[in-house]
Every structure is written in C-alpha cells, then in structure tokens.
Amino acid sequence: MDFLSEIERRRTFGIISHPDAGKTTLTEKLLLYGGAIQEAGAVKSNKVKKGATSDFMEIERQRGISVATSVLAFIYRDKKINILDTPGHKDFAEDTFRTLTAVDSVIVVIDVAKGVEEQTQKLVEVCRLRSIPILVFINKLDREGKDAFDLMDEVEIKLGLTVTPLTFPIGMGYDFKGIYNIWEKNLELFNSDDKQKISKKIKYGSIDDQKLKLSIGSKQLKQLKEDIELITGVYPKFDREKYLSGSLQPVFFGSALNNFGVQELLDCFIKIAPKPRPKISDTRIIYPKEVEFTGFVFKIHANMDPKHRDRLAFIKIVSGKFERNTSYLHVRQNKRLKFSSPNAFFAEKKQIVDISFPGDIVGLHDTGNFKIGDTLTTGEKINFKGIPSFSPEHFRYINNIDPMKAKQLEKGIDQLMDEGVAQLFILNINNRKVIGTVGALQFEVIQYRLLHEYGAKCNFENLNVYKACWISIEKSKNNEVEEFKRVKQKFLAKDNKEQLVFLADSDFTLQMTKNKYPSIKFYFTSEYK
C-alpha cells in the first residue's frame, strides 16, 4: 500500500466526557469490535480482577478512574484507528487539553441520566475553538434517563452545537429494545445478556417489516414511527462537510456496557471521520501528504513498565513517514536522534514498528531529551503551536520524608513534571520546591507514584497562592524591574524552563502589582517550547 493510501486509512480521535459517563467502557467496546481484545475489562467492579485495558496505571485500577491519557490502536475494516482515551476528572483536565492538540476528531460521551455536565462543557468549548469535528454518543440507554429529544435539546443549548441524530433508541431503561439506524435505514434489536462479548443482533431491513411488531409491540412501533417522522422534520440532514468543519454534530445512542449501538457508531465513524489533518507551525501550515517527516510530543509517560523504568514520549506524526533507525532533528536541542525501537500500541500491548504514517501515535523511548511540545523533523526547523501550559490552581510545598531517598525523590519529581501532570516552581528566596496542579487530586497521584515507582516518600504542606503568572518584561524599564524583583522577591520563583514566575497570593495582590508595574506583563498560560 502506498504512502497516500496509508494516510487515507488513518483515523485518530479522542474520547472526552465528564467522569463516569462511560468513556473508558466505550473505548473497551470499540477495541472489542476491532478484534484488538477478546473480552472487555470491567472498569469499576471489584469482583472482576481484570481492569480496563486503557487504565494501565495501578492507581487507576484502584480508584476506577482514568488519570492519564491512554493511546490505543486497532484495525477495523481496513482502517487504522488510533484512540486517545482521556481523563474525565476535572483535576486531570490539562492532560486532556494537550491531548486535543493531537486528535483529528472527538467523540463526546454523555450519560443519558445526567445529561450535559460541567467538565463536558469545558472540553467541548476547547474543541469548538479549534474547529475539531465532534460526534456525540449518548450512553447508558439501558438505564432510566432523560427523553432523547430533551437530551438533544440540552446538547444544543449547553454545548452550543447543531445536532442531527444518526441513530435513535427504541424505548429507554427497562423498555429499551434496540436502535433504529437512520444512517443505514435499518433497525437492530439486541438479545444478548453477555456484556463482555459482542452481542448477537436481530436485524430488520425496514421499519415497516411485519415481524417487527411481534418483537417490540405495536405501541413502541407506533412511537418509533412518530419519532422518525419528527426527526425528519426538525433536524437538519447530515452533511459530512459541515461535520468536518465543526458546524454540525451527528448524535448516536446506545449502551457501551451492553454493546448496544457501539458497532453502529463505529461503522459510521470510519466513513465520515476526517483523515489526518494539517497542523499550524510557527512558520507555516504542515500538510500530512508532505514527503518530509514532522511530528510533535504531546505526552510523556514515565515508568510505562515499572520493571524496566522506561519513559516514553508520545509523538503525533503530522507529515511524512517516521522510520525506525532513521536520524531525525530534535528542533529545540538542535541535535539529531535515532530510535531503534519505536512503539505502537495495540490494546494493552506495545510492539516495535518499522514505519508509521501521518495520524499515527508513536512511543519513543526517552532518556530525558524530550519535553512536551518538542518537535521532530527530517531537518526543517519548525515548532508546532497550540500546546499550552495552564496556570495551576492548587499549590503546595513538597517535603522529603526519607533523607536517604533524596536522589530518588528528585528524579521522580523531575520525570513527573516532564510528563506535565503538574508544574514545579523553585522559590527564589529559599529554593524550596513548590508543586502546582490544576486539581487537588493530582497531589494524591504524585505522592502515590513517587512512592510506588521511585521508592520516595514525601508529604505536602499548604501554600497560599492564588495564581502563577508568567512574566515578560520591557527591557527599557530596568529601574522598574529591579524594584519589582526586590519588593516582590518572596513571591518570585523559576519554573522548570528557568522562566520567571510571579506567585500571587490573591487577586487583589495581582491587580495592584499590575497597576504599579505597567511595563511587566503577566500571563496565565505558558506555551510549551
């Protein structure tokens, strides 16, 4: 298969939602249909020892939540599908925001009972700002929940989307019988009780099939016909170009846990979802079909396998071919690197790949060369844009409990900060280390991982900081700058890139400082470079 054909068959997408909407379960069932796994893991059941395939960290298995983005891939109907299963919990939103820079489309999962929730709104807003194509999957229809039409209205109002259903449920909760597939104009009922394997289906070619009345009853058949008539009159007809431009969002209904509606979603997705898209760099737009290789680091994960202490940098390939044992330019360090064992991810298995194409995610073994946002190219000196570091909202001193493990603690902190799970600030006045996170739960994850992956014990001490602000200074105002550094010295720190940061203890302090030192600019984000 030639280079252009390989690009055409790639589909790279992220799955986003509020916590517990069924995102990781949907990921499992997509892998199940793709043949990447034979049996899905129960995400939260303590009775089932097998954990969810995408939740590979021990703490995720214990807590029943995803705290890091997982990269998974499988082949389905000759399409190479790359899934990025993201954390839903708001405390890990920064990892999700960065992951959205590496996807070509997203699937938004919504709980039928809870509807649109806060974290979903924030994530969808990021997608809308970047014009990422969005597909909506309304999940858990086997449970009692909101009316399907009310849910679609809620999606339009709260998320600012324009929706059109491509499947529609027959009943809900105890009365849930199956799915009418508007996209393929057929209807499928489900009769399997085995939630871990692919359900057997009874398929009807038409809504007017006489046997259908016997299966679902005349009352539900009448209601279904009325619903389909209403959909045809109220919602816009699906237009793929509008979907790809981000102005129309198809909606699917189902139950991921019970395999209802998942295959309908997948079959439609591979036909309508975008192939690899262009990406903006600091000098020009890079197109997937370009011959020269380019790619960027959107995620780093230490200790993927604790037995081997390996650290992987996840690269999204933007253009050209990435080949094993080929020399590439690390733009930030201006040096060439060669990779003997690049990894691809098929379900829970890593495997070495010789060649990868635009849209693919490759894991590169890293000894500390990479930081999030780094660019790799054949030789062109470019940097991809739009991978931000957000100002943390929670700040704590980190203290070493075991002096004998000081080196392990330092190494662990450095590696976890490189992952982007949190940010490290070193105070100018006394060199104390301060950890800043987007969410408080991150501190628990950091403490757990430092102990179990590095053998280092630590505790945290509260620090009253409102915001971390990155600073840019007009060089012509030296007197003002020196006064600022002298007066505010106890609030100043350096981040891990040696950039000066102002740790404001309140909004009032920040506003007063801005007014007093107008030549100094304060920023709540710092783009990775």
pLDDT band at 43 (very low <50, low <70, confident <90, very high): very low
- The predicted-structure confidence for 239-282, as pLDDT tens digits, reads as follows 999 999 999 999 999 988 888 888 889 999 999 999 999 999 99
Whether the CB-CB separation of 454 and 494 falls below 8 Å is answered with no
Output helix, strand, coil percentages for the chain, rounded to the nearest 5.
30, 30, 40
pLDDT classification of 310: cutoffs 50, 70, 90: low
CA distance 381 to 372: 17
Dump pLDDT digits (tens) for 359-383. 999 989 888 788 888 999 999 999 9
Q: Say which CATH topology domain 279-377 has.
A: Elongation Factor Tu (Ef-tu); domain 3 (2.40.30)
Alpha-helix runs per DSSP H in 420-506: 441-454, 478-487
The residue extents of the domains of the chain are: 3-272, 279-377, 388-527
Do the beta carbons of residue 484 and residue 517 sit within 8 Å? yes
Please choose, from the candidates 310, 306, 311, the residue with its C-alpha nearest in 3D space to the C-alpha of residue 453.
Answer: 306
**Integer-rounded Cα radius of gyration of the chain:** 25
pTM of this structure = 0.77
Residue with tokens 């439609």: 268
User: Two tokens at 311?
Assistant: 């650290």
Query: Within 13 Å of residue 194, how many CA atoms lie on the same side as its CB?
Result: 9
CB 36 within 8 A of CB 74: yes
Closest CA to 127 of 254, 6, 15: 15
**Residue 436's Cα: distance from chain center in Å?**
21
Per the prediction, the chain carries an average pLDDT of 82
Judged by DSSP in three states, 124 sits in helix
pLDDT at 321 over 90: yes
- Asked whether the beta carbons of 426 and 100 are under 8 A apart, the reply is no
Residue 148: predicted pLDDT: 92
**Mean pLDDT (whole number) for 282-299:** 94
Query: Looking at the predicted structure, is the pLDDT value of residue 196 above 60?
Result: no
CA dihedral in degrees (387, 388, 392, 398; nearest 10)?
50
Would you state the pLDDT for residue 47?
32
Rounded to whole angstroms, the Cα distance separating 69 from 91 reads 13
The reported pLDDT for the residue numbered 66 is 44
Distance CA 80, CA 52 (A): 21
CB 256 within 8 A of CB 262: yes
pLDDT cut 90: percent of the chain above it: 38
What CATH architecture does domain 388-527 belong to?
A: 2-Layer Sandwich (3.30)
Element (H, E) at 125: helix 118-129
Report the alpha-carbon distance of residue 447 to residue 456 in Å, rounded: 9
Output b/e per residue, 189-217; b: 16+ Cβ within 10 A. bbeeeebbeebeeeebeeeeeeebeebbe
Question: At residue 345, what are phi and psi to the nearest 5 degrees?
Answer: -125, 115
DSSP conformation letters of 216-280: H-HHHHHHHHHHHHHHHHHSPPP-HHHHHHTS-EEEEE-BTTTTBSHHHHHHHHHHHS-----EE
Q: Which of 51-55, 248-252, 350-354, 367-371 has the lowest mean pLDDT?
A: 51-55
Q: What is the pLDDT of residue 158?
A: 93
Phi-psi region of 303 (alpha: psi -120 to 50; beta: other; left: phi over 0): left
What is the dotted CATH code of the domain comprising 3-272? Answer: 3.40.50.300
Which residues is 343 bridged to in the sheet?
352, 363
- At which residue do the structure tokens 């007017």 appear? 208
At 528 the pLDDT is 42
Whether the Cβ atoms of residue 255 and residue 137 lie closer than 8 Å to each other: no
Tell me what the mean pLDDT of segment 72-78 comes to.
Answer: 87
Average pLDDT over residues 375-399: 86
Structural tokens at position 203:
């398929």
| Least confident range of 8-12, 68-72, 251-255, 336-340 | 68-72
Q: What's the mean pLDDT in 411-434? A: 87
Given a cut of 70, whether residue 216 has pLDDT beyond it is: yes
294 bridge partner residues: 319, 377
> What percent of the chain lies above the pLDDT cut of 70?
82
A 10 A CB-CB count for 55 gives 26
**Three-state DSSP class for 315?**
strand
The answer to whether 139 and 109 have CB atoms below 8 angstroms apart is: yes
pLDDT bucket at 53, cuts 50 / 70 / 90: very low
pLDDT of residue 67: 40
Neighbouring residues of 437: CB distance < 8 A, sequence distance ≥ 6: 91, 392, 393, 394, 421, 422, 423, 443, 446
